[in-house]
Copies of this chain bind each other. A is one copy, B any other.
């Protein structure tokens, strides 16, 4: 079974290289970017500006092939790919919870962007704490490193 999607827009950020990037929005505090939604989808942005945060789903377009184990940026041990957020996944879909500043026509002005410039956008969803938040979550191998995420940067390992 094949599932076919099409980009609904393009994400623009200061990050043009895979190395040296923040590895999550928490490490990209204050980094501004824009999201260009293709004009044909413009009407779908109605009411979105009321939300302070949005979930962006995007295609890791620079990620070729996949591996079932990856050494995450936060670790030195290979982990199962589904226990990581690494990009070389069977379906290379990225997910970031991003701060929305404003929308002008088909352009979203966003903050805390940890995404490569030129990345194809697949979907935008409103972030709703009642749907998406699990404050008491256990985080397995990330337990020790979880507070460090804002300080780490990417390197070339997922090129």
Query: A residues near B, CB below 8 A?
Result: 1-8, 24-26, 41, 43-55, 57, 59, 68-69, 79-85, 89-91, 93, 95, 97, 99, 120, 122-143, 146-147, 149
Least CB distance, A128 to chain B, in whole angstroms? 5
| Cβ A134 vs Cβ B6 within 8 A | no
Q: What does DSSP make chain A's interface, helix, strand, loop or mixed?
A: mixed
Which residues in B have their C-beta under 8 angstroms from that of A136? 52
List of B residues within 8 angstroms of A6 by Cβ: 1-3, 90-91
Say whether A90 contacts B126, CB under 8 Å: no
In the bound complex, how far is the Cα of B79 from the Cα of A136, in angstroms?
A: 32
Q: Are A122 and B91 in contact (CB under 8 A)?
A: yes
Residue of B nearest to A66 (CB): B44
A127 pairs with B137, CB closer than 8 A: yes
Give A143 to B99 CA distance when docked, in angstroms: 17
A149 to chain B, nearest CB (A): 5
Which residue of B has the minimal Cβ distance to A150?
B130
- Cβ-closest chain B residue relative to A134: B53
